[in-house]
Amino acid sequence: MDSVSAIAASIRAARKKTGLTQADLAELAEVLERTVRAMETATGNPSPRAVISVLGVLGLRLTVAR
């Protein structure tokens, strides 16, 4: 699994674990529902701000390896 697919799977799993719908998560993260859907399916090209916002709502962190 590549890193984008792994992030997508983590977002979906965390959302489901918290009992949020994609619409709920989008509202809390202040992004469009289609942006959440794109993140969860590893499609599209969401902005870094949108990704960070969604991760923040879910209590996830993105780390950068050097």
| Of residues 66 and 11, more confidently modeled | 11
Task: Give the closest residue to 37 by CA, choosing from 49, 54, 56, 52.
Answer: 54
- Answering whether pTM is above 0.85, one says yes
Structure tokens at 37: 């859907």
Contact in structure between 15 and 43 (CB atoms under 8 Å):
no
| Domain 3-58: top CATH class | mainly alpha
**pLDDT tens-digit profile of 7-49?**
999 999 999 999 999 999 999 999 999 999 999 999 989 999 9
Q: How is the chain split among helix, strand and coil, in percent rounded to 5?
A: 65, 0, 35
Dist CA 31 CA 14 (whole Å): 17
DSSP code of residue 20 = -
Question: What does the domain layout of the chain look like in residue ranges?
Answer: 3-58
